[in-house]
Amino acid sequence: MENILAVITNWDDAEAVLGEAEKLATQFHTSLEVLVPVHDQLGELSKYLNLQDFSQLQAEIVDAESAHLDKLCAGKNYRLHVEWTTKVHTTVVEKAQSYGAGLIVMMASHDPALALLVHTPDDWHLFRDTPCPVLAMVKDRQACQQVIAAIDALDNHEAHQQLSARVLDNAAALAKAEGVPLKVLSVVPDPALVYAGIVNAPMSGDFLVDTMAIAEKKTQALVEHLGISPQTIEVVTGRVEEVVSQTALQAHALLVIGNAANKGLKGLLMGNTAERILRGMKTDMLVVN
């Protein structure tokens, strides 16, 4: 893995984010850089100050954040960056690209507006635009006891198969680094749950059984092709977001999932599985584009 970029967006989370990034940098034998994006929240105040006063205030805020970061990382040989920004996700993406980051480590925002259809929070933007995987941490963390790679084994599109391969590769690397078992999970959507009215429709009792058998065969073929040896492969049925989230929570697992990066109207109306899981995430989640 290449350079790791630790992103601190809230000082209350700084030690947890830095600690996780340091641990991974040690395990992967790679360098670590730390970024503090200072979100411009002066808003209307800029209209009542002249340019010089506003620039001075901005510089004082950046200096204060820099001093805080220097204190946090005292005695550590990391490259430190403090950047003033109006769009946090844009700055994180740009800096990750310029630093050659192979992994971004940060705390998930858990924005209360996340459930609103018309609102797309910074986490979503970052997942869609980032050049590398993002480890989104939760505040109430437990020791990782397992890494779960969640894939859709039934999607035959080449781009999706390549995404699943990246998910599995990253999950295997994290499981090895953490010294915990790797589990590969594939969820087959149950039509009776997805379409409520279908529960009364005549369906073959073998439909889900046959589909799950196909998913298991495809999953097994993919891990063998990649040379990955998970401890378990599990194919289950249900609502994807619910099954994946609950499985990870019950196993105290780090969840690794792919993001299809839907944008525009499709992204607004449908979102992505990773983004829907993010709404109720209670475990750390690595999102791979």
* Complete edge-to-edge strand list for the sheet that includes strand 232-238: 79-85, 32-39, 3-7, 101-107, 134-137, 285-288, 253-258, 146-151, 182-189, 232-238
What is the average per-residue pLDDT within 184-206? 63
Nearest to 174 by CA among 133, 220, 138: 133
Task: Specify whether the CB–CB gap between 237 and 188 falls below 8 A.
Answer: yes
What is the average per-residue pLDDT within 67-89? 92
Nearest to 152 by CA among 164, 141, 135: 164
- Fold match flag (1-140 vs 142-289): yes
Q: Is 101 exposed, middle or buried (0-12, 13-18, 19+ CB in 10 A)?
A: buried
For residue 118, the model assigns a pLDDT of 37
Structure tokens at 85: 């920004």
What is the average per-residue pLDDT within 33-46? 77
Task: Specify whether the CB–CB gap between 260 and 155 falls below 8 A.
Answer: no
Helix (H) or strand (E) holding 209: helix 207-226
pLDDT higher for 199 or 176? 176
d(CA 103, CA 7): 11
What is the average per-residue pLDDT within 13-42? 92
Domain positions in the chain are 1-140, 142-289
For residue 121, the model assigns a pLDDT of 54
Structure tokens at 106: 């940060």
pLDDT cut 70: percent of the chain above it: 79
**Which of 91-105, 170-184, 203-217 shows the lowest mean pLDDT across its residues?**
203-217
CATH level 3 topology of 1-140: Rossmann fold (3.40.50)
CATH level 3 topology of 142-289: Rossmann fold (3.40.50)
Instruction: Answer yes or no: is pLDDT of 252 > 70.
Output: yes
Task: Specify whether the CB–CB gap between 153 and 219 falls below 8 A.
Answer: yes
pTM: 0.85
